[in-house]
C-alpha cells in the first residue's frame, strides 16, 4: 500500500477530532470559562507561575510530553503489524489521549495548578494523594531512566549529532533572554533558532564528538558516561526558571515536529514509498501477545499517563486563559499522535524497501525493541534522501529530532520528580525533602540514574529489554488513574462522565493484565529488582482503583440526590 494513504487518513481523523470532539469536551464535559483567573495570574512568581502565550506554551507542552516514547513505542509495536498499531494510535489519540490530557490540564488549573496526585486528595480522599504520588514517583523514575539511555545510545551511535544538540542549549538561552527582556514574540526568534540548529548539522558532521577515549580512561562504557553527564545536566536545567531554557528550547523543538512531519510526508509523496511491512504480522510463538502488550508498548503514541504529570506540573502553571486548555491539551495529544504516525511510516516504508528487509529487522520482539530508535532514524533519513538530502545528513537530522524531544522530556521529568519528592517530604514531614531544593533535586536525579545504570538485558541494559515493558505499563496505568480522578471531578460537577469512563476502563484492564503477566515473567527470569517493583506498583494501583470507585459511586449518589431534590422543588 502507498504510505501516503494511511498518512492522510489518520491526519484527517485527527483534524476532525480536534475540530468537533475537543469542542464538545470543552463545552459539555469540562465547561471552560474564559473569565476564570488561572493560577499563572493568581500565583505569578516569574519562575514556575508565568502567564504564557498559548502558542509558546503549546511548544513547551508538546515537546515535554513527546520525548522519544511516541517514536520508540510505535516503532516497536509494528512488530505485530502496522494495521493494529495505527488503529490504536488513531482511536487512542482521539478518544483517550485527548480526553486525558485536556481533562488533566483543566482540573489542575481549577485546583490551583496542583499536581494530579494532590488533586486526587481533594477529589477522592487523602489516601489517594499518597498512593498516586508513589505511583507517579515510580513512573518518573522509569521515564527519566529510559530517556537517558535512549539519548546515550543515540550519542554513541551518531557522534555527529552531539555538537548540534549541545549548541542548542546556549542558543535557546539567548532566545529566552531576548524574549523575556524585550517582551516580544518568540515566534521569529525561535524560527531563527531552528535554522541555526540545522546549519550546525554541517559543523557536527565535520567535528563528531565521541566520549570513548574519556570513558576508556575512566574504565566505563561510553553509554554509561553519557548517562551520568545527562543527569548532571538535568540537575542544573531542572532548577532554572522555565523562561531561561525550558520554554525557548521547547518552542524551537516544537517547530521540529512540523519540519520532521513535512520531510516525512513530502518524502513519501516524492519517493512514492510503499509500506513494506505486513498489515498484521505472523509473529513467532514465543513473542508477547499483542493483547495486552501492543497497548502498553505504543504507550505515549496513543495515551500516556506522563502527560497528566506535565499538564498538572508545568503547563497548568503557565496557562494564560482557561480556554487555551483545549489548544494546549487536546492539540498536544493530537500532535503526539502525528509523531507516532510518522514513526510507523518511517520504520515500515522509509527504512526498508522490501518485505524481506523488514523481516530481517523485525524477526523477533527483542530485535524489534533493540533497533526501534535507529530504525526510525534510518527511515526519516530515507524520506529525506527522496528530497535530495544526503543519507548521512538525514541521519544526523533525524537523530537531533529524537534527542531534542527526549532531552526536553528529561528536563521536565526531573523537574516534576523534584515536585513529587517535595510533596512526599510534606506528607512525611521530612523538611530536608520538602524545603531544600538541592536535596529534592538530588533525589530526583540519583534514583532514575541508578535504574538507568543497572546491568542486565544485554549491552543496552534494561532499557530495551524488560524496562520498556514496565515503563509502558506503568505509564498507561497512570493515565487510567488520572482519568479516574477526572471522572470523579466531572461527576461531582453534574456533567456526564461517560466519555472519560470508557477509555478509563480499557486502560485499567489492559495495564493490570500486563502488570500481572510481567510479574510472572520477572519471577521466572529471576528479575529481583523489577519483580518487587512490578508488584508494588500493581498493589498501589489496585488500592487506588478501589478508592476511585468508592468516590465515583459517592459522587454519582450525591448527583442523583441533588437531581431528586431539584425535581421535587419543581413539582412543589
Could you tell me the CATH number of the domain that includes residue 334? 1.20.1740.10
Cβ–Cβ under 8 Å, residues 142 and 471: yes
Pair 250, 59: CB distance under 8 Å: yes
SS3 523: helix
pLDDT at 462: 45
Burial of 495 (0-12, 13-18, 19+ CB in 10 A): middle
Retrieve residue 148's grid coordinates. 537517558
Which pLDDT value is given to residue 559? 73
- The string of pLDDT tens digits covering residues 231-256 is 999 999 888 887 788 778 877 887 88
Question: DSSP letter string over 285-349?
Answer: TTSPPHHHHHHHHHGGGT--HHHHHHHHHTGGGTBSSTTHHIIIIIHHHHHHHHHHHHHHHIIII
Angle (CA) 475 481 486, round 5°: 125
Q: Nine-digit cell at 50?
A: 508565568
CB count within 10 Å of CB 282 equals: 7
The grid coordinates listed for 386 are 527522496
Q: What is the pLDDT of residues 504-563, one digit of tens each?
A: 999 999 999 999 998 998 888 787 877 898 999 999 889 988 998 999 999 888 877 666
Least confident residue range of 151-160, 312-321, 467-476:
467-476
For residue 272, CA distances in Å to 1, 343, 392 come to 10, 17, 21
| All cell numbers assigned to 466 | 524488560
Percent of the chain, pLDDT > 70? Answer: 96
Residue range 291-307: mean pLDDT, rounded: 92
Collapsing DSSP states into helix, strand and coil, what is residue 242?
coil
Alpha carbons 302 and 337: distance in angstroms, whole number = 6
Which residues are registered as beta bridge partners of 266? none
- With CA atoms as reference, report the closest residue to 157 among 372, 346, 356: 372
Q: How confident is the model at residue 566 (pLDDT cuts 50, 70, 90)?
A: low
Q: For residue 466, what pLDDT is reported?
A: 63
What is the spatial distance between Cα 518 and Cα 530, in angstroms, rounded to a whole number?
Answer: 9
Locate all alpha helices (DSSP H) within 158-302, ordered by sequence: 162-182, 187-206, 212-218, 222-237, 246-271, 290-298
Distances from the Cα of 27 to the Cαs of 22, 214, 330, 369, in angstroms?
9, 57, 13, 41
Q: How do residues 116-136 score in pLDDT, each as one tens digit?
A: 888 998 999 888 888 888 998
Handedness of CA 386, 387, 388, 394 (dihedral sign): negative
Q: Which residues, 6+ apart, have CB-to-CB distance to 180 below 8 Å?
A: 243, 244
pLDDT at 458: 41
Secondary structure element (H or E) that encloses residue 470, with its range: helix 468-492
The DSSP output letter for 448 is H
Residue numbers of the domain that contains 420: 4-571
- Residue 361 contacts residue 352 (beta carbons within 8 Å): yes
Half-sphere exposure (CA, 13 Å, Cβ side) for 274?
A: 6
pLDDT, residue 118, reads: 86
pTM: 0.88
DSSP H/E element including 549: helix 530-571
Is 512:542 a contact under the CB 8 Å cutoff?
A: yes
Residues 382 and 351 sit within 8 Å (Cβ to Cβ) = yes
State how many domains the chain has. 1
Burial of 16 (0-12, 13-18, 19+ CB in 10 A): exposed
What is residue 432's three-state secondary structure?
A: helix
Return d(Cα 21, Cα 331) in angstroms, integer: 11
User: 457 pLDDT band (50/70/90 cuts)?
Assistant: very low
Instruction: Give the C-alpha separation, 403 to 150, whole Å.
Output: 8
N-to-C CA span, the chain = 66
User: Which residues does 404 contact at the CB level (< 8 Å), separation at least 6?
Assistant: 63, 165, 168, 249, 252, 253, 256
pLDDT value of residue 412: 82
Rounded mean pLDDT of the chain? 89
- Burial of 356 from C-beta contacts in 10 A (0-12 / 13-18 / 19+): exposed
**Which SS3 state, helix, strand or coil, does residue 52 take?**
strand
Amino acid at each position: 500500500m502507498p504510505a501516503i494513504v494511511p498518512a492522510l487518513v489518520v491526519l484527517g481523523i485527527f483534524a476532525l477530532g480536534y475540530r468537533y470532539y475537543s469542542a464538545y469536551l470543552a463545552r459539555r464535559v469540562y465547561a471552560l470559562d474564559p473569565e476564570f483567573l488561572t493560577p499563572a495570574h493568581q500565583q505569578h512568581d516569574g519562575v514556575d507561575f508565568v502567564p504564557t502565550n498559548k502558542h509558546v506554551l503549546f511548544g513547551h507542552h508538546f515537546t515535554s510530553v513527546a520525548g522519544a516514547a511516541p517514536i520508540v513505542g510505535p516503532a516497536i509495536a509494528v512488530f505485530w503489524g502496522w494495521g493494529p498499531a495505527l488503529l490504536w494510535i488513531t482511536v487512542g489519540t482521539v478518544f483517550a489521549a485527548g480526553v486525558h490530557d485536556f481533562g488533566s490540564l483543566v482540573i489542575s488549573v481549577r485546583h490551583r495548578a496542583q499536581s494530579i496526585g494532590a488533586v486526587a486528595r481533594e477529589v477522592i480522599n487523602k489516601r489517594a494523594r499518597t498512593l498516586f504520588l508513589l505511583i507517579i514517583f515510580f513512573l518518573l523514575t522509569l521515564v527519566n531512566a529510559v530517556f537517558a539511555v535512549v539519548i546515550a545510545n543515540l550519542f554513541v551511535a551518531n557522534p555527529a549529532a552531539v555538537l548540534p544538540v549541545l549548541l542548542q542549549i546556549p542558543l535557546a538561552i539567548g532566545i529566552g533572554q531576548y524574549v523575556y527582556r524585550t517582551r516580544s514574540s518568540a515566534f521569529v526568534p525561535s524560527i531563527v533558532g531552528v535554522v541555526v540548529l540545522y546549519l550546525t548539522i554541517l559543523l557536527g558532521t565535520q567535528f563528531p564528538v565521541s566520549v570513548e577515549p574519556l570513558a576508556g580512561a575512566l574504565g566505563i562504557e561510553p553509554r554509561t558516561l553519557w548517562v551520568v553527564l545527562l543527569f548532571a545536566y538535568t540537575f542544573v536545567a531542572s532548577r532554572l526558571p522555565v523562561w531561561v531554557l525550558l520554554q525557548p528550547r521547547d518552542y524551537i523543538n516544537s517547530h521540529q515536529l512540523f519540519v520532521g512531519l513535512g520531510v516525512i510526508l513530502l518524502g513519501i509523496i516524492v519517493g512514492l514509498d510503499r509500506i513494506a511491512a505486513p498489515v498484521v504480522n505472523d509473529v513467532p510463538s514465543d513473542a508477547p501477545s499483542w493483547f495486552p502488550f501492543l497497548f502498553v508498548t505504543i504507550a505515549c503514541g496513543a495515551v500516556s499517563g506522563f502527560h497528566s504529570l506535565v499538564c498538572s506540573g508545568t503547563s497548568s502553571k503557565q496557562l494564560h486563559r482557561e480556554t487555551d486548555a483545549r489548544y494546549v491539551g487536546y492539540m498536544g495529544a493530537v500532535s503526539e499522535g502525528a509523531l507516532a504516525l510518522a514513526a510507523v511510516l518511517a520504520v515500515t516504508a522509509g527504512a526498508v524497501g522490501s518485505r524481506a528487509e523488514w523481516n530481517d529487522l523485525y524477526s523477533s520482539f527483542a530485535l524489534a525493541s533493540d533497533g526501534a530508535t535507529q530504525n526510525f532514524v534510518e527511515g526519516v533519513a530515507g524520506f529525506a534522501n527522496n528530497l535530495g538530502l544526503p543519507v548521512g545528513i538525514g541521519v544526523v537530522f533525524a537523530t537531533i529530532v529524537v534527542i531534542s524531544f527526549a532531552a526536553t522530556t528529561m528536563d521536565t521529568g526531573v523537574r516534576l520528580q523534584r515536585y513529587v519528592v517535595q510533596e512526599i517530604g510534606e506528607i512525611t514531614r521530612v523538611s530536608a525533602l520538602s524545603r531544600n531544593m538541592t536535596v529534592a533535586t538530588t533525589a530526583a536525579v540519583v534514583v532514575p540514574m541508578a535504574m538507568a545504570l543497572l546491568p542486565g538485558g544485554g549491552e543496552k541494559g534494561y532499557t530495551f529489554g524488560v524496562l520498556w515493558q514496565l515503563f509502558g505499563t506503568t505509564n498507561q496505568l497512570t493515565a487510567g488513574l488520572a482519568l479516574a480522578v477526572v471522572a470523579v471531578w466531572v461527576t461531582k460537577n453534574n456533567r456526564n462522565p461517560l466519555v472519560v469512563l470508557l477509555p478509563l476502563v480499557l486502560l485499567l484492564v489492559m495495564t493490570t493484565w500486563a502488570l500481572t503477566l510481567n510479574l510472572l515473567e520477572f519471577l521466572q527470569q529471576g528479575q529481583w529488582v523489577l519483580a518487587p517493583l512490578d508488584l508494588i506498583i500493581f498493589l498501589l494501583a489496585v488500592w487506588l482503583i478501589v478508592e476511585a470507585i468508592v468516590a465515583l459511586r459517592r459522587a454519582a449518589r450525591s448527583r442523583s440526590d441533588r437531581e431528586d431534590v431539584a425535581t421535587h422543588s419543581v413539582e412543589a
